[in-house]
């Protein structure tokens, strides 16, 4: 991986971790700054989300500051210039899932374009 690719992957990882931060999630303006205008998600429940519906959920305090999402095995790959694919394992108060995000570089920074979660029956 080139140094430029490493910087892109690290920027996407940093942005993903900010998006998981309970303090960020409690502030719709901070969440919106990380969502691409065309953002979509397929959640672990199978439900389809867009930026508007995600903002409504995150601003409702769905993530408790006392128990933030635990993340492990996060890695990323540059798919094309300005496009990074991240994968990782997340444990949110016992709800365990493999997660995948596509981040793209915009004029305002890295923004998540697509996210998907798949419930995990085991970790490994």
Residue at 124 is within a domain = no
Residue at 20 is within a domain = yes
| Cα gap 87→9, rounded to integer Å | 11
3-state secondary structure of 111: strand
**pLDDT at 107 (0 to 100):** 95
H or E element in which residue 102 lies:
strand 95-106
**pLDDT at 67 (0 to 100):** 65
CATH number at residue 91: 3.10.450.50
Residue at 19 is within a domain = yes
- Cβ neighbours of residue 35 under 8 Å, at least 6 residues apart? 51, 54, 55, 111, 112
**pLDDT digits (tens), the chain, 124 positions:** 899 999 999 999 999 999 999 888 888 899 999 999 999 999 888 889 999 888 887 766 554 455 688 999 999 999 999 999 999 999 988 889 999 999 999 999 999 999 999 999 876 6
Residue at 46 is within a domain = yes
H or E element in which residue 100 lies:
strand 95-106
Residue at 114 is within a domain = yes
**pLDDT at 46 (0 to 100):** 87
Residue at 40 is within a domain = yes
**pLDDT at 12 (0 to 100):** 98
Is 35 in contact with 109 (CB distance < 8 Å)? no
Is 0.75 surpassed by the pTM of this model? yes
Number of domains in the chain: 1
What pairs with residue 117 in β-bridges?
Answer: 99
**pLDDT at 98 (0 to 100):** 95
Domain that holds residue 44: 3-119
CA-angle at 22, arms to 61 and 12, nearest 5°? 125
């Amino acid at each position: 991986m080139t140094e430029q690719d490493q910087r892109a992957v690290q920027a996407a990882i940093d942005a993903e971790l900010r998006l998981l931060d309970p303090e960020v999630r409690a502030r719709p303006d901070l969440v919106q700054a990380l969502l691409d205008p065309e953002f979509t998600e397929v959640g672990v429940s199978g439900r389809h989300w867009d930026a508007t519906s995600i903002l409504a959920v995150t601003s409702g305090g769905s993530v408790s500051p006392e128990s933030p999402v635990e993340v492990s095995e996060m890695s990323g790959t540059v798919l094309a210039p300005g496009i990074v694919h991240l994968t990782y394992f997340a444990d949110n108060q016992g709800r365990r899932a493999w997660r995948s995000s596509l981040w793209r570089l915009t004029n305002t920074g890295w923004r998540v374009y697509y996210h998907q979660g798949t419930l995990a029956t085991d970790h490994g």
